[in-house]
Structure 1
């Protein structure tokens, strides 16, 4: 009983600390700026990674998962109703393919390459989303044999200032007893095991907020 009281006390304390913690102020992308958005992809070569490195033992992400994330991202960005309409993956893909055809891939560097893509579509900002891990939940909301897991990066390139911002999201869901320090997320999810699709939407919201979108 005492152990239970201690656990409850720790949870309450962590929730209070989380609510009081100050967030770094994020400078939003101007609504008047032209944003271009690439489609989700899974980098398989080191030169394709804009920042960081490829995970070890990375498995192929299913094409339907990439399609789901593209749709989820489009839905999320559609809520920026006061912003200048963004340029979608189809436009970006055309410039990407044209530039790839002109370059020697052995000498391609990801950041300068994507900056050229952004200039090709005449954008002020270019959003490049990448996914590295997609693990489906095996079980139900109340019990699992395998929890959902996801790893992705969203890169925002400022073409005017030639700067890069990275938002990283990585999670394999754990039970409350396994990860007591993330109690706020546990209660936000009502104690349920979520699907990887739900996790994808949560991850997008987190990354876009971090990037000022």
Structure 2
């Protein structure tokens, strides 16, 4: 029954809102948000139409470690809580998020309505969504690898009052040879081969530096 509800709701959203080739966006500064809902990271599945609209095309997907969602969600939570941002955050565990999303999908006639209802149900002003496209662990050690770590994910912030995207960033990185690390210290931070988690941690930190309200 749960799966049936999911697919019925998914079809509804795709028919009414998910077919847009470019999602609605606004470049207005975000000054009125007080509380943001943080959804657990979701895995990209190329064989499934996605529920959440993101403004990026052509991201190369790849292997995704099973624990990637839990790892990135925890890292994001830790970084948000220490980033000195002017918001309060509400975090959902995967089961809570899944149940809430299914219920809201069944009640919505479009993607923007889905976002607005989701924000209303949780009492927030905005919703932060993350999607993982690639999370491949390095094959080797910190000093020698056969394959480097490779990570790709996006973060998208939706306005809970309009359903529009107000901010979005992507991180897409496969570690380069160590000789190039000096040129990319802001990404790698160390002269070593990083694990996928270390690379993802650095990526989240970089994206949050661009988050609305972050001190430059």
TM-score (norm 1): 0.70
Q: Is 2:131 the counterpart of 1:130?
A: yes
Deviation at 1:206, TM superposition (A): 1.3
In structure 2, the CA distance between the partners of 1:187 and 1:201, relative to structure 1 (3 Å rule), is closer
Unaligned runs of 5+ in 1: 1-25
In structure 2, the CA distance between the partners of 1:29 and 1:127, relative to structure 1 (3 Å rule), is farther
User: Within 5 A, what are the aligned runs for 1:57-96?
Assistant: 58-59=61-62, 61-80=64-83, 83-90=86-93, 92-96=97-101
CA distance in 2, matches of 1:151, 1:55: 8
| Aligned CA-pair RMSD | 3.1
CA distance in 1, matches of 2:124, 2:175: 37
Deviation at 1:28, TM superposition (A): 6.8
Deviation at 1:198, TM superposition (A): 0.5
Deviation at 1:122, TM superposition (A): 2.1
Unaligned runs of 5+ in 2: 1-27
Flag the structure with higher helix content: 1
In structure 2, the CA distance between the partners of 1:63 and 1:115, relative to structure 1 (3 Å rule), is farther
3-state SS in 1 of match to 2:44: coil
CA distance in 1, matches of 2:190, 2:84: 30
In structure 2, the CA distance between the partners of 1:82 and 1:198, relative to structure 1 (3 Å rule), is closer
Larger Rg: 1
Q: Is 2:177 the counterpart of 1:172?
A: no
* Counterpart position of 2:148: 147
2:103 aligned to 87, 95, 98, which one?
A: 98
Deviation at 1:158, TM superposition (A): 2.1
User: Could you tell me whether the CA contact under 8 Å between 1:115 and 1:157 is conserved in 2?
Assistant: no
Where does structure 1 differ by over 6 angstroms across 4 or more consecutive aligned residues?
none
1:147-187 Cα distance to aligned partner (Å, 9 max, x none): 0000000001122454312111000001155x58x704289
* Counterpart position of 2:55: 51
Tell me the matched-pair count.
180
